[in-house]
């Protein structure tokens, strides 16, 4: 059973070797990004599948995946040759510019469900400058570490933006569109335990449920209802995997009126009962 790293749970950011993430995943080579954004820095040639599509990637490239994407590595990578950067929207978004970066074609491209782009610098740069700098600040000062991590992500996204066809507009919708989606995510983070209907979030955004669904379908490839359900499922899984609370206690914590309603909801949307999920059935998660 996959275990989220302590840094990802605590700070919303983590950088790790892929082989370490695979070990946390019970040696399984399949992952799902869930609500996290992931950047894979490839230092060796690699074959993988993203959303079922087979891809061969040359060393010196980065793979950018948005939330709710499936990735499978075809063969175990060598030690220390692939880095995984995982981060939450909450961690990265501090300004409208950050929102534009996250909602650009780097992570949301209607032509593909991923972006592959060469990264700046050599493998030695990645290993010595980037990683050592993060390690130094992590040990020295938490605030500086968070700032450095944010800077690393921003630079990698900028590299990818430069690689995307310069004739295409990197921002597909007006800033108002981005702001509404970000506000929806903020509302969902705050209210998912209480409200699980699209109409509530649409009313808070002063748009129709149909409009909200068209926005989430464009950005996430999911209806607004599916995004809400995925949020509840993701948070439920975190509680089931990482706490000692009883299922009854978790159902109450997640805003369900009783354990049976919670069990029905989880079973309906995962095909497994909460107790089966807790026992460690082979489920994929993010890094």
Q: Return d(Cα 34, Cα 20) in angstroms, integer.
A: 19
Whether this model's pTM surpasses 0.85? no
User: Apex CA 30: angle with CA 124 and CA 131, to 5°?
Assistant: 20
CB 217 within 8 Å of CB 181: no
How confident is the model at residue 175, as a pLDDT? 53
How confident is the model at residue 279, as a pLDDT? 77
Q: How many helices (H) and strands (E) does the chain have?
A: 14, 9
Q: Which CATH class is domain 6-163?
A: mainly beta
Q: Which residues of the chain have pLDDT under 70?
A: 1-4, 78-80, 110-111, 121, 123, 129, 165-179, 280-287
The pair phi, psi for residue 192, each rounded to 5°, is: -60, -25
Q: Return d(Cα 39, Cα 107) in angstroms, integer.
A: 10
How confident is the model at residue 166, as a pLDDT? 43
Strands (DSSP E) along the chain, which ranges?
13-17, 30-32, 37-42, 46-50, 53-57, 61-65, 70-73, 82-87, 115-118
The residues spanned by each domain of the chain are 6-163, 176-278
How confident is the model at residue 280, as a pLDDT? 62
Q: Which CATH class is domain 176-278?
A: mainly alpha
Give the 3-state secondary structure of residue 275: helix
How confident is the model at residue 11, as a pLDDT? 81
How confident is the model at residue 179, as a pLDDT? 67
Q: Return d(Cα 103, Cα 64) in angstroms, integer.
A: 12
Interval 213-266: pLDDT, tens: 988 887 778 899 999 999 999 889 888 888 888 999 999 989 998 999 999 999
């Amino acid at each position: 059973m996959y275990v989220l790293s302590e840094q990802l749970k605590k700070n919303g950011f983590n950088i790790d070797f892929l082989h370490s993430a695979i070990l946390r995943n019970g040696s399984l080579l399949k992952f799902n990004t869930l609500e996290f954004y992931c950047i894979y820095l490839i230092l060796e040639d690699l074959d993988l599948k993203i959303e079922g599509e087979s891809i061969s990637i040359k060393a010196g490239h980065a793979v950018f995946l948005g939330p709710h994407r499936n990735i499978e590595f075809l063969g175990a990578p060598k030690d220390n040759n692939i880095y995984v950067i995982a981060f939450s929207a909450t961690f990265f978004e501090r300004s409208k510019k950050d929102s534009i970066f996250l909602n650009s074609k780097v992570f949301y491209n209607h032509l593909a469900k991923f972006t592959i782009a060469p990264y700046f610098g050599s493998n030695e740069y990645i290993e010595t400058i980037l990683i050592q700098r993060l390690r130094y600040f992590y040990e020295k000062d938490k605030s500086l570490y968070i700032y450095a991590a944010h800077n690393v992500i921003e630079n990698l996204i900028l590299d990818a933006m430069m690689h995307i066809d310069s004739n295409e507009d990197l921002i597909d919708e007006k800033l108002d569109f981005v702001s509404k989606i970000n506000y929806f995510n903020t509302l969902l983070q705050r209210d998912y335990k209480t409200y699980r209907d699209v109409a509530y979030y649409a009313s808070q955004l002063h748009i129709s449920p149909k409009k909200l669904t068209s926005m989430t379908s464009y950005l996430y490839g999911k209806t607004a209802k599916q995004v809400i359900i995925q949020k509840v499922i993701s948070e439920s899984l975190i509680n089931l995997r990482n706490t000692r609370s009883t299922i009854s206690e978790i159902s109450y914590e997640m805003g369900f009126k009783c354990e049976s309603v919670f069990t029905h909801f989880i079973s309906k949307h995962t095909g497994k009962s909460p107790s089966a999920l807790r026992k460690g059935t082979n489920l994929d998660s993010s890094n």
